[in-house]
Amino acid sequence: MTLLRILESVHGYLAMMAVAAVIHPAILLRKGKGLSRRNRWAISFAGVLPAVAFGAGMLIYQDYRVLVRRGLFQASPAAGFLFETKEHLGFAAIVLAAGACVCALVAPKDSSDLRKLSALAFAISFVLLLLVSGMGTWVTALHSF
């Protein structure tokens, strides 16, 4: 197994962990209650993990462009386009998770409305991350490093 395949797997695992991490605050914050110290850690984790997964993807992106993209489009143009779609949705998911994380952590105790908005943003981020992970897994199964 090459280093690129290992990095690709790490990126995939991190993305799956991010999906699981982001749904937690979406449930936790839905009623807008105040946060305990443990909840704050969980929310911070959910805000940071999608960005870490995205960063891991960025590490191998240049190699993907050079080594994989051409073969992927030859194998299946639909899968090639699906990967491009995944990139766009990935960006949307990480900015939503980051914004929701800051909102939930900074909102004062009486601002339950802001925490509910944060829960909504985390929920949308979860849906997007689920789509992104599914697309990524399917494309990787089709053609990879």
Partner 1 sequence: MATGEARAAGRRRGVLKRWSDDTARSIAAASLVFPVVSIVVYLLARIYERLRVGRIDPSLIVMSQQTDFYWRCAIAGWFGLSVAGFAYLAFRLKPKTRYRSLHLGPVLIVLLPLAVWAAWRFP
Contact set with partner 1 (CB under 8 A): 58, 61-62, 65, 69-70, 73, 77, 80-82, 84-85, 87-89, 91-92, 95-96, 98-100, 102-104, 106-108, 110-111, 113-114, 116-118, 120-121, 124, 127-128, 131
Between 1 and 57, CB nearer to partner 1 = 57
User: Minimum distance from CB of 13 to partner 1 (Å)?
Assistant: 22
Closest to partner 1 by CB, 1 vs 64, is 64
Q: Which is nearer to partner 1, 6 or 106 (CB)?
A: 106
CB 84 to partner 1: min, Å: 4
Name the residue nearer to partner 1 (CB basis): 1 or 50: 50
Q: Are 142 and 80 in contact (CB under 8 A)?
A: no
Asked if residue 125 lies in contact with residue 93, where contact means CB atoms within 8 angstroms, the answer is: yes
Q: How far is the CB of 28 from partner 1 (least distance, A)?
A: 16
Q: CB–CB of 1/138 below 8 Å? A: no
Question: CA–CA separation, 60 vs 46, rounded Å?
Answer: 23
Tally Cβ neighbours within 10 Å of residue 62.
Answer: 9
Q: How far is the CB of 17 from partner 1 (least distance, A)?
A: 21
Half-sphere exposure (Cβ direction) of 35: Cα atoms closer than 13 Å: 27
- For residue 66, give every residue at least 6 positions away whose Cβ sits within 8 Å of its Cβ, in sequence order, or none: none
Cα distance between residue 145 and residue 101, in whole Å: 34
Residue 99 Cβ vs partner 1, minimum distance, rounded to whole Å: 4
